[in-house]
Amino acid sequence: MDTNEGSEFDTDTEVIGGFGRFLVAVAAFLTIATVRQLANVFNYPPARIEEFENDRNPGYVFVMSLRERGIIVPNDVSILIDALRDIDLHGIAYEVTRAFEKHCEKRGSFGSTNKVGGRGHRLSMDEVTDSFRGQLFFSQSPVDVSPNQRLQKASFINSVTITYRRLYDKVQPIPFIRDKLLCVDNVFIDSGVERRTKVGTKEAWQKLESYHCLFNDLPPAPTRCILFGEPGFGKSTLALQLVYDWCNSCLNSPLKEVDILIFLRLRQLIDVSSIFKAIKQFILPHDSPLSEKDITEIVYSSKLVVILLDGFDEYANKRGEDDDDVTKVMKGLMFERFFVVVTTRPSMKPVEMPATTVQLRLTGFDSEAQDNYLRKNVAGTDSKAIQKIKSYIEKNQILRDLCEVPLFFAMFSHMFSEKETSMKFDSATSFFRYMIGSFHEHMKNKLNGSELKKYEQLEKDHRKLDKASFEALTGEKQEIVWMKNQLQKLIERDLYDQYIAVGILVEEETVVFNDRPGSPTSALAFRNIQTRFYHKLFCEWYAAHHISNLAKKALTLTLNRALRKIDLFELQYVLRFACGINPTASSRIIKYLQTVEGGDKFAILCILEQTGQVDDILDSIRQLCFEGVIISGHDSLLLQRSSLQLLEIAAKHNVSYRLLFFNI
């Protein structure tokens, strides 16, 4: 073949019949860049690679060369498929697989033995579909798409895979450790997942052996799944692990045969009502030629689609006031044939979700999970170091309870391994104060002189950040992500820079599209920086300082007006932290809670944030005990233990209770 004249698609010999049509289809998927990557994988010499690149049909010439080498044969294309996966071209690998199944009369091998089906058994596409049926409901594949649409889909999958890799490769177990960004697969611990299951006439939570079983043995045709987790329980980490598994075609992954996975962090969707626009803005690269219309066609033309929406409790429109795409998805009015997974706090369940919605919940770290985390991320095989950390935790009941929260355990174990402490923790507030102090101490060790003095001044005076946090959490729409320049104006540049440096605030780059008519081409898309807290709990910590300051000096009317803005079920930590930060003002907060329906339970949690003297709140304790302390099996373990501790305080101060119910 004369490469200088350019090759044409032959109509005889190889391309006659199904296998020939398959070769032509594969050639259509291969761009010059892809040919170059694969040629290097298969050790072609530079001169031959240059010939491929200069040919008028480089993909076809390259495919025919692979045919001559025996890399592609009529009954086996597994070598090519595995090579594509090795260089992370999962989308093209999938399209080649489908083309092979479509055009070749004989179903052969198309994938690594690492896939489902067990060692030595490779599944056909029909078998894959059958194995998946009953685990996830999926959209039926529509009519055949054109070669150009296949190329667009392959490009789309490749682009989202690259974006997802950037996300799951940058996990920070602790904010100030910037030089230790880890892959989520190194951080994630498979522990503590339960599913709501019907047992006889009743429903109960049943523990799953592994997150691999999340979607096994589901009722017929479910399309929605909600994953509950208290603050810090690892909802986003599990979501990222699912993303990692999909990108890497991991064995036993719940999403192992999903065609397209759409992963969106809902906190980012500020003034973005379209999911397809969100995909364009937050997932695809800045220079992607794919339009929202292209994305829509790609998604709806795919067979197995999962939409993973992370952090519904952080979504600005979670109340559903605006009829946007996310609201429609929750109600089952959009993507009704796709499987949608939503993560959220238990207190913030999306309204009007279908009755068939699968319910999952995270239960935190038990002792075994803690050991696994320490071995994986902190101490390695050093059993003495592991035992030292575990012993310190076991000696302190409050710390032991707090360390059931994976976020708290991870932070404490990393900090303790760097610098041991003898501090006794007696509340969530004291623990969080220790963590924040450690972050600042780590930064101050790098400073001296005037820099240190300025840093300490800003460390103490963060009232503007407190106010911004409170207003973000309690606004008409909870928006806890700011544009960088917006937050800099709210809290001033120096304070902003310091909290970015310490890691409490985090910057994320996004692409913003200007779709106003008449805008110049150069202004159609531009990069912007969004700023958020490392974790929502940090936002609640600083908002609590704002409430604490109000409780110290504000009129009761002003304080109660601010307290009424707080959703007790969603933002309980704001009130708990506020009572722990300022014990002398906590009596005002607790008295307010006793006037609110259901506030007694939160008052108990707030009382337990007290350290030392409780004289200022003895009247509140007497009133709670007089009205009756109810310990219910439906309450969280934290609330049950807090209720028992309240009774211990009452007994210590000779406070009798009128009635005690056990409803377990």
> How far apart (Å, rounded) are the C-alpha atoms in residues 529 and 327?
26
3-state helix, strand, coil in the chain (%, to 5): 50, 10, 40
Highest mean pLDDT among 509-518, 602-611, 632-641: 602-611
Asked if the model's pLDDT at residue 569 lies above 90, the reply is no
Q: What is the mean pLDDT of the chain?
A: 79
- Classified as helix, coil or strand, 256 is coil
Q: What is the pLDDT of residues 151-175, one digit of tens each?
A: 888 889 989 999 999 999 888 877 7
Q: What is the pLDDT of residues 91-135, one digit of tens each?
A: 777 778 878 887 765 444 434 433 333 323 333 434 433 433 334
Determine the pLDDT at residue 560: 86
Domain definitions of the chain by residue range: 13-132, 154-362, 367-455, 461-534, 555-663
Strand ranges across the sheet with 505-513: 481-483, 525-533, 505-513
Taken as a whole, the chain contains a residue count of 664
> How far apart (Å, rounded) are the C-alpha atoms in residues 243 and 493?
35
Asked if the model's pLDDT at residue 663 lies above 80, the reply is no
CA distances from 500 to 170, 493, 577 (A): 16, 10, 22
pTM of the predicted structure, to 2 decimals: 0.68
Determine the pLDDT at residue 119: 28
Instruction: Say if residues 421 and 431 touch (Cβ distance below 8 Å).
Output: no
- Grade residue 138 by pLDDT with cuts at 50, 70 and 90: very low
Instruction: Say if residues 281 and 510 touch (Cβ distance below 8 Å).
Output: yes
Determine the pLDDT at residue 251: 80
**CB atoms inside a 10 Å sphere around CB 416:** 17
> How far apart (Å, rounded) are the C-alpha atoms in residues 639 and 634?
10
- Grade residue 288 by pLDDT with cuts at 50, 70 and 90: confident
Instruction: Say if residues 319 and 203 touch (Cβ distance below 8 Å).
Output: no
Q: What is the pLDDT of residues 461-512, one digit of tens each?
A: 999 999 999 999 998 778 888 999 999 999 999 999 999 988 899 888 776 6
Average pLDDT over residues 287-294: 87
Instruction: Say if residues 135 and 372 touch (Cβ distance below 8 Å).
Output: no
Sort 228 into a burial class: Cβ within 10 Å, 0-12 / 13-18 / 19+. Answer: buried
CA distances from 480 to 133, 291, 296, 471, 536 (A): 39, 29, 29, 9, 8
Which residues lie closer than 8 Å to 96 by C-beta, 6 or more apart?
A: 26, 29, 77, 80, 81, 84, 110
Asked if the model's pLDDT at residue 574 lies above 80, the reply is yes
Determine the pLDDT at residue 140: 41
C-alpha torsion angle, residues 577, 346, 332, 480 (rounded to 10): 10
Q: Which fold has domain 154-362?
A: Rossmann fold (3.40.50)
